[in-house]
Each structure stands twice: as C-alpha cells, then as structure tokens.
C-alpha cells in the first residue's frame, strides 16, 4: 500500500471513528453511538459528543486558525450544559465556521446552530425552538436550588434565539426592537411550547442564513457573517 493510500485510509478512519476530517476541515457533529438508547432513539447532545467535538475543533484550529471549518450537524436536542459548552467553543474559535444542518435543529442543537458565522439548512431539514425540560430529585432545598439554576440556562437559550434574529439582516424581525422580538418569541412558545419552522421559515425569521445549494458556496461568507462571532 502506498503512502498516499495509507494516508487516505487513516483519514476515512478518523471520519468514521472520531468525526473529524483534518484534510478538508470538516467536523461531523452527530450522536455518539455508544450512547444510543435501547429503543433506538438518537442519543443527542451529551458529554461524549461535547468532549469529542471540542477536541476536534481544537485540532483543526491548531492546524490553521484562519481556514474555514464546516460542521456537518445531524443531531437532536439534549443536555443544556453540554450544548452550551459546544456553543462557547464555536464562538471562541478563531476560524470562520459554517454549520450545515441535516434532519432537524431542535432544542439544544437549534442553539448550537446560532454560534456559527454561517447557518445553512439542508432543504428538508427543520428548526424548532423551545425552553429546555427540567427534572430534579433530592431534598426540597436541592430541588429549589436546581430549579433556580435551571432558570439561568433558560435565559441563556432565550437570549441566544433573540440575538440570532436581531443580528440577521435578511430576517423579517431585523428592524424590530429587542423587546418586540422577545414578546413575539414568548407568545409563540406560550401558545405552542415546541415551535417548528421549515428550513425556509427559519431563514425568513433569521434563525438561519440560507438553504444549501452547492458545496462550493458553503464557505462563502458575507462581511456580516464574518463579524458575528466577534460581536
């Protein structure tokens, strides 16, 4: 086997086992199969996914801190703290980052999407916003303490949604005041709890930037998009 063939085999192994393509600067953000539930449901966002993702992001930024990174995201919601760790890692990365969303961006993955410079929806993917679920056990004091702590993450998630639509100049709410956006979003959540959007609707409201067209155009960034993570 030639050196080139060996290198390509290692690259394919890294993609399937570790979720990173160091040649093309792609990270595959998907549920870790070792964490799959017995009923076959997707494991979603949890600590193994976050650990792997942060390592992969550090590997690519260490290779080149200017080359665009593509995150191929196919995951449902999950744990808030682990999702916010990934959100922070994307925000802190020096590289311009695009997330290409497959299937659905919902709950925690809809928040992660907002950390990227550019947010691309696959044509048949969807978007869903809501506040996170909470479940506590322990003493009365512990439940009260955790309930109060959980409100912080609800506020973080809500603010991430509001900031996303406020900064998206193509969205229909771009010229709205922050107070008006907050009121609209709370009304939607109060009425429906889980608020769903098609890919086109997500773009119209400012939760995403475009529907996928070609791979050549995925890493074409506007000045507005390049400025997002530094804002």
Q: Note the pLDDT tens digit of each residue in 136-191.
A: 556 767 656 655 665 676 788 889 999 999 999 999 999 999 999 999 999 998 88
* Dist. CA 108–CA 95, nearest whole Å: 22
Tell whether the model's pLDDT for residue 209 goes beyond 80: yes
Tell whether the model's pLDDT for residue 6 goes beyond 80: no
Domain boundaries, the chain: 3-226
Task: Report the pLDDT value the prediction gives residue 192, as an integer from 0 to 100.
Answer: 85
- 213, two tokens: 């067209």
Task: Report the pLDDT value the prediction gives residue 132, as an integer from 0 to 100.
Answer: 60
Task: Report the pLDDT value the prediction gives residue 2, as an integer from 0 to 100.
Answer: 76
Asked which of 102-111, 142-151, 187-196 is least confident by mean pLDDT, the reply is: 142-151
Span 131-138, mean pLDDT? 58
The length of the chain, given as a count of residues: 231
* Dist. CA 43–CA 39, nearest whole Å: 10
Tell whether the model's pLDDT for residue 35 goes beyond 60: no
pTM score, whole prediction: 0.89
Per CATH, the number for 3-226 is: 3.90.226.10
Grade residue 43 by pLDDT with cuts at 50, 70 and 90: confident
Residue 80: CB atoms within 10 A of its CB come to 23
Instruction: Give per-residue pLDDT as tens, 57-84.
Output: 999 999 999 999 999 999 988 888 999 9
Tell whether the model's pLDDT for residue 37 goes beyond 90: no
Task: Report the pLDDT value the prediction gives residue 230, as an integer from 0 to 100.
Answer: 60
Beta bridge partners of 21: 26
> Whose CA is closest to 119, among 203, 58, 56, 200?
203
Tell whether the model's pLDDT for residue 36 goes beyond 90: no
Task: Report the pLDDT value the prediction gives residue 155, as an integer from 0 to 100.
Answer: 84
């Amino acid at each position: 086997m030639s050196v080139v063939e060996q290198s390509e085999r290692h690259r394919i192994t890294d993609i399937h086992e570790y979720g990173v393509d160091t040649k093309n600067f792609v990270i595959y953000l998907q549920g870790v199969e070792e964490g799959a539930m017995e009923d076959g449901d997707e494991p979603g966002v949890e600590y193994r996914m976050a650990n792997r993702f942060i390592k992969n992001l550090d590997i690519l930024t260490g290779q080149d801190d200017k080359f665009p990174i593509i995150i191929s995201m196919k995951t449902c919601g999950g744990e808030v703290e682990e999702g916010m760790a990934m959100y922070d890692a994307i925000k802190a990365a020096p590289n311009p980052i695009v997330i290409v969303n497959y299937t659905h961006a919902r709950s925690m993955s809809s928040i992660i999407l907002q950390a990227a410079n550019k947010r691309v929806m696959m044509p048949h993917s969807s978007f869903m916003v809501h506040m996170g679920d909470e479940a506590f056990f322990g003493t009365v004091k512990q439940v009260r303490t955790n309930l109060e702590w959980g409100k912080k993450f609800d506020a973080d998630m809500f603010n991430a949604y509001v900031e996303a639509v406020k900064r998206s100049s193509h969205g229909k709410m771009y010229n709205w005041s922050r107070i008006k956006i907050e009121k609209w979003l709370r009304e939607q959540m109060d009425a429906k709890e889980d608020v769903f959007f098609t890919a086109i609707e997500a773009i119209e409201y400012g939760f995403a930037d475009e529907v996928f067209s070609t791979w050549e155009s995925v890493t074409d960034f506007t000045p507005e998009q390049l400025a997002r993570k530094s804002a």
